[in-house]
């Protein structure tokens, strides 16, 4: 990390901050959390470094923040009030907070700016839950989601992944608090302060520089259980044992498995935090602390593997702007799947993950197949100024990205040849924010050491098609080991061809035994394959019989529920059951496709369900579903 890196200049179109002139190197938060009125108030002190001569202004991103006062600080003392103004709000980027420094800085000068502020009701990063929405029903709950550009509604900051800063925090709260940082006081293993209605103080340190989107907070009745030496789990006390069971087997193996595949884990601890079902994502790689959902059958541990892989791809090497988001998610998905193969001791299970991912990617490519949206089919997304990356969020970055890397691995002759390159890439860019172009430059410089491989890569891989191509398919047809999927394919084919048989014949032909030996993922592939066939609209009876014999409506596993609803809604069935399900969860992966599918067949039911239950969703999910249903705020 000592070698001087020359990176392509970044110009993040989703920020209004002047991070190219002057950038935050550390931020210190002093917060008080008000659960009864749902806001955070306090201050942030930015330590800034001028990158050019003649800088007399700092511009921060902010969104729906109420500013009280801004002062310059030196050696922890306030030395003078600073002038500031907030020009008119940009719809997706928010309000640029312009702070006058009152003098001109020279390149290399430091300045500390303290902003006193509070969040507001319109904050898009924070989800506030009432006691009724928690497991115990006793206390309120708070959680955040800052990726992609929501940190600015929690902290006035330079909200671009190009800027990396360390942070420290002091938080005063009546309920236990966690941040994406090491809790120095009280440490996790010490007794928790009592929940006695008084404010207690929690202190934190994040000593590795991270982009703003990895800053996170959670608060509520949270208890801790260690899983391994550097892994543990936080959850409401009533869920702690269940949650620990879910991850116990795998947490430590995930971290050490990844260390073998990549490089040593540098973050110290890796803890998971169980969030309520309204959390909009399945997981989020917040530094040191990954929110995770539990389903009760350990089938979601690959989410933990995914988020842990971000510790290298995303958190150590970050995309410099959202155009290169695939460097985060594509590399992470590629690595997560390598890990799955390694932990299962079976290379077929690695390929199985690619097979599972294919359906969602194809659906998303189709969703973007309209004039004005095709840029979402690209791996490297050419954003225009001010486009909200949430609008283009899809599985393309994940699956096209992972397939691209897998294709490169196969082209150079397999993992043995590719893994040293993977490690070299991580070593080269750890601690930095990079663009697709930086990745490409290093890629070619690495392979130029191996002229035969370089030649193969140049001849066999169409880089432009992978990175900038549009369309409904990958640039090449990938060949996977289908041994784990074959039984699912066969069962789907069998239902497909039997679809018009009379009920009595169907009942004879199929039975619960068909899927009894299936792992959860094999059920998923069965349903996804079925969803890819012609709709069962004219063969509703077949879907009803499928329900009778397999009972998918009764399953607790949300991944199976999702795929089952997609098959049956397409056939015009079970809209009521699907609507009941989306009232209870908030994960975008489930709510968006299910709402869209209900909307196709019963638009009024979709809208009514959403309007009645939207207060239970996180603000990010609320906006996205409203848009999908044509109910834009």
Task: Compute CA distances 505 → 136, 492, 514, 549, whole Å.
Answer: 48, 17, 16, 13
* Partner in contact with 393, chosen from ligand BES, Zn ion, none, beta carbon below 5 to 8 Å by kind: ligand BES
In the complex, the smallest distance separating the C-beta of residue 180 from ligand BES, rounded to whole angstroms, is 12
Enumerate the β-bridge partners of residue 318. Answer: 433
User: Does 306 sit near ligand BES (CB under 6 A)?
Assistant: yes
The pair phi, psi for residue 60, each rounded to 5°, is: -105, 155
Minimal CB distance residue for ligand BES = 281
Is the peptide bond preceding residue 617 cis, with omega within 30 degrees of 0? Answer: no
User: Does 307 sit near ligand BES (CB under 6 A)?
Assistant: yes
User: Does 299 sit near ligand BES (CB under 6 A)?
Assistant: no
* Partner in contact with 528, chosen from ligand BES, Zn ion, none, beta carbon below 5 to 8 Å by kind: none
Query: How far is the C-alpha of 16 from the C-alpha of 162, rounded, in Å?
Result: 13
User: Does 563 sit near ligand BES (CB under 6 A)?
Assistant: no
Token pair belonging to 97: 């907070």
User: Does 559 sit near ligand BES (CB under 6 A)?
Assistant: no
* Partner in contact with 284, chosen from Zn ion, ligand BES, none, beta carbon below 5 to 8 Å by kind: ligand BES
**DSSP per residue, 436-481:** HHHHHHHHHHHHTTSHHHHHHHHHH--HHHHHH--SSS-SSPPP--
Q: Give which of 108, 115, 122 is closest to 86, Cα–Cα.
A: 115
Query: How far is the C-alpha of 238 from the C-alpha of 252, rounded, in Å?
Result: 23
* Partner in contact with 394, chosen from Zn ion, ligand BES, none, beta carbon below 5 to 8 Å by kind: none
**8 Å CB contact between 105 and 50:** yes
In the complex, the smallest distance separating the C-beta of residue 99 from ligand BES, rounded to whole angstroms, is 28
In the complex, the smallest distance separating the C-beta of residue 282 from Zn ion, rounded to whole angstroms, is 9
In the complex, the smallest distance separating the C-beta of residue 309 from Zn ion, rounded to whole angstroms, is 8
Q: How far is Cα of residue 149 from the mean position of the Cα atoms in its chain?
A: 12
Selected range binding ligand BES among 97-105, 161-169, 280-288, 546-554, rule: CB under 6 A: 280-288
Q: Which is nearer to Zn ion, 12 or 329 (CB)?
A: 329
**8 Å CB contact between 191 and 230:** no
The pair phi, psi for residue 172, each rounded to 5°, is: -105, 125
Query: How far is the C-alpha of 125 from the C-alpha of 291, rounded, in Å?
Result: 14
Question: Pick from 97, 240, 287, 303: which binds ligand BES (CB under 6 A)?
Answer: 303
Q: Which is nearer to ligand BES, 393 or 404 (CB)?
A: 393
Task: Identify the helix (H) or strand (E) that includes residue 15.
Answer: none
Query: How far is the C-alpha of 482 from the C-alpha of 356, rounded, in Å?
Result: 11
* Partner in contact with 303, chosen from ligand BES, Zn ion, none, beta carbon below 5 to 8 Å by kind: ligand BES
In the complex, the smallest distance separating the C-beta of residue 82 from ligand BES, rounded to whole angstroms, is 33
In the complex, the smallest distance separating the C-beta of residue 163 from ligand BES, rounded to whole angstroms, is 17
Question: Pick from 139, 224, 393, 495: which binds ligand BES (CB under 6 A)?
Answer: 393
Q: Which is nearer to Zn ion, 329 or 438 (CB)?
A: 329
User: Does 406 sit near ligand BES (CB under 6 A)?
Assistant: no
Task: Compute CA distances 417 → 66, 113, 182, 263, whole Å.
Answer: 54, 49, 37, 16
Question: Pick from 33, 148, 327, 392: which binds ligand BES (CB under 6 A)?
Answer: 148
Q: Which is nearer to ligand BES, 232 or 283 (CB)?
A: 283
In the complex, the smallest distance separating the C-beta of residue 306 from Zn ion, rounded to whole angstroms, is 6
User: Does 216 sit near ligand BES (CB under 6 A)?
Assistant: no
Enumerate the β-bridge partners of residue 319. Answer: 434
Enumerate the β-bridge partners of residue 32. Answer: 41, 172
In the complex, the smallest distance separating the C-beta of residue 59 from Zn ion, rounded to whole angstroms, is 29
User: Does 292 sit near ligand BES (CB under 6 A)?
Assistant: no
User: Does 285 sit near ligand BES (CB under 6 A)?
Assistant: yes
Indicate which residues carry an active-site annotation: 307, 398
Residues 6+ apart with CB under 8 A from 456: 411, 412
In the complex, the smallest distance separating the C-beta of residue 283 from ligand BES, rounded to whole angstroms, is 5
Question: Residue for token digits 């800063």?
Answer: 165
Q: Give the start-end residues of each E strand in 161-255.
A: 164-173, 177-179, 182-185, 200-211, 217-219, 223-226, 231-235
User: Does 425 sit near ligand BES (CB under 6 A)?
Assistant: no
In the complex, the smallest distance separating the C-beta of residue 180 from Zn ion, rounded to whole angstroms, is 15
Residues 6+ apart with CB under 8 A from 457: 408, 411, 412, 447
**DSSP per residue, 473-519:** S-SSPPP---TTTHHHHHHHHHHHHHTTS-HHHHHHH--THHHHT--
User: Does 409 sit near ligand BES (CB under 6 A)?
Assistant: no
Residues 6+ apart with CB under 8 A from 386: 13, 14, 90, 91, 92, 93
**8 Å CB contact between 220 and 134:** yes
Q: Which is nearer to Zn ion, 329 or 351 (CB)?
A: 329
The DSSP letter of residue 352 is H
Q: Which is nearer to ligand BES, 42 or 283 (CB)?
A: 283
User: Does 291 sit near ligand BES (CB under 6 A)?
Assistant: no
Q: Which is nearer to Zn ion, 23 or 392 (CB)?
A: 392
Q: Which is nearer to Zn ion, 127 or 282 (CB)?
A: 282
In the complex, the smallest distance separating the C-beta of residue 332 from Zn ion, rounded to whole angstroms, is 5
Question: Pick from 169, 255, 284, 338: which binds ligand BES (CB under 6 A)?
Answer: 284
Query: How far is the C-alpha of 527 from the C-alpha of 535, rounded, in Å?
Result: 12
Tell how strand 433-434 and strand 318-319 pair up.
parallel
User: Does 183 sit near ligand BES (CB under 6 A)?
Assistant: no
Selected range binding ligand BES among 3-11, 245-253, 283-291, 572-580, rule: CB under 6 A: 283-291
User: Does 282 sit near ligand BES (CB under 6 A)?
Assistant: yes
Q: Which is nearer to Zn ion, 46 or 422 (CB)?
A: 422
User: Does 258 sit near ligand BES (CB under 6 A)?
Assistant: no
* Partner in contact with 270, chosen from ligand BES, Zn ion, none, beta carbon below 5 to 8 Å by kind: none
User: Does 124 sit near ligand BES (CB under 6 A)?
Assistant: no
Q: Which is nearer to ligand BES, 98 or 589 (CB)?
A: 589
Number of residues that bind ligand BES (CB under 6 A): 14
Question: Pick from 276, 283, 401, 475: which binds ligand BES (CB under 6 A)?
Answer: 283
The DSSP letter of residue 94 is B
Task: Compute CA distances 526 → 411, 430, 496, 512, 563, whole Å.
Answer: 30, 40, 11, 14, 9
Contact pattern for Zn ion over residues 308 through 347, marking x by CB under 5 A:
---------------------x------------------
End-to-end, the C-alpha distance of the chain in Å comes to 46
Helix and strand totals (H; E) in the chain: 20, 21
Q: Which residues bind ligand BES (CB under 6 A)?
A: 147-148, 281-285, 303, 306-307, 310, 329, 393, 589
Q: Which residues bind Zn ion (CB under 5 A)?
A: 329
């Amino acid at each position: 990390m000592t070698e001087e890196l020359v990176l392509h200049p970044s110009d993040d179109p989703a920020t209004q901050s002047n991070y190219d002139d002057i950038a935050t190197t550390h931020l210190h938060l002093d917060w008080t959390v008000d659960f009864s009125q749902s806001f955070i108030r306090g201050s942030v002190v930015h330590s800034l470094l001028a990158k050019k001569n003649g800088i007399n202004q700092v511009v921060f991103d902010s969104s729906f923040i109420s500013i009280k006062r801004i002062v310059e600080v030196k050696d922890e003392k306030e030395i003078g009030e600073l002038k500031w103004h907030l020009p008119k709000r940009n719809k997706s980027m928010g309000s640029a907070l312009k702070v006058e420094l009152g003098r001109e800085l020279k390149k290399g000068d430091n300045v500390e700016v303290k902003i006193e502020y509070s969040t507001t009701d319109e904050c898009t990063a924070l989800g506030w839950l009432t006691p009724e929405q928690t497991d115990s029903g006793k206390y309120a709950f708070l959680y955040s989601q800052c990726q992609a550009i929501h940190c600015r509604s929690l902290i006035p900051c330079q909200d671009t992944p190009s800027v990396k800063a360390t942070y420290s925090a002091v938080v005063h709260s009546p309920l236990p608090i966690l941040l994406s940082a090491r809790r120095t006081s009280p440490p996790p293993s010490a007794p928790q302060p009592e929940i006695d209605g008084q404010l207690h103080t929690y202190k934190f340190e994040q000593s590795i520089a991270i982009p703003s989107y990895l800053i996170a907070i959670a608060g509520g009745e949270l208890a801790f259980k260690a899983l391994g030496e550097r892994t543990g789990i936080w959850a409401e006390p009533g869920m702690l044992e269940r949650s620990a069971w879910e991850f116990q087997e795998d947490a430590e193996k995930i971290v050490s498995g990844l260390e073998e595949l990549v490089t040593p884990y540098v973050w110290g601890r890796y803890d998971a935090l169980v969030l309520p079902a309204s959390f909009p994502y399945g997981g989020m790689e917040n530094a040191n602390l990954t929110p995770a959902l539990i389903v009760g059958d350990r089938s979601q541990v690959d989410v933990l593997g995914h988020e842990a892989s971000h510790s290298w791809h995303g958190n150590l090497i970050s995309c410099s702007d959202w155009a290169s988001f695939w460097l985060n998610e594509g590399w992470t998905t590629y690595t997560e799947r390598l890990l799955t193969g390694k932990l299962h001791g079976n290379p077929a299970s690695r390929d199985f993950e690619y097979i599972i991912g294919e359906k969602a990617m194809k659906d998303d490519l189709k969703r973007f197949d309209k004039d004005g949206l095709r840029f979402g089919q690209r791996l490297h997304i050419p954003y225009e100024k001010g486009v909200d990356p949430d609008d283009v969020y899809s599985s393309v970055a994940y699956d096209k990205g992972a397939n691209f890397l897998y294709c490169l691995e196969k082209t150079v002759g397999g993992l043995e040849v590719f893994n040293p390159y993977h490690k070299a890439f991580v070593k080269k860019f750890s601690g930095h924010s990079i663009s697709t172009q930086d990745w490409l430059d290093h890629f070619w410089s690495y392979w130029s050491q191996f002229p035969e491989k370089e030649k193969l890569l140049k001849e066999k891989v169409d880089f432009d098609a992978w990175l900038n191509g549009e369309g409904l398919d990958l640039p090449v047809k990938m060949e996977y080991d289908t041994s784990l999927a074959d039984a699912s394919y066969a069962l789907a084919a069998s239902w497909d061809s039997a679809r018009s048989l009379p009920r009595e014949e169907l009942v004879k032909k199929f039975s619960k035994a068909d899927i009894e030996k299936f792992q959860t993922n094999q059920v998923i592939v069965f349903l996804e394959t079925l969803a890819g066939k012609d709709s069962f609209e004219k063969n509703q009876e077949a879907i009803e019989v499928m329900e009778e014999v397999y009972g998918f409506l009764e399953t607790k596993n949300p991944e199976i529920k999702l795929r089952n609803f997609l098959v049956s809604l397409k056939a015009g069935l079970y809209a009521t059951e699907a609507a009941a399900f989306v009232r209870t969860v908030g994960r975008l992966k489930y709510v968006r496709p299910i709402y869209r599918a209900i909307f196709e067949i019963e638009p009024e039911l979709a809208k009514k369900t959403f309007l009645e239950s939207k207060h239970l969703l996180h603000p990010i999910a609320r906006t996205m579903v409203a848009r999908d249903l044509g109910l834009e705020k």
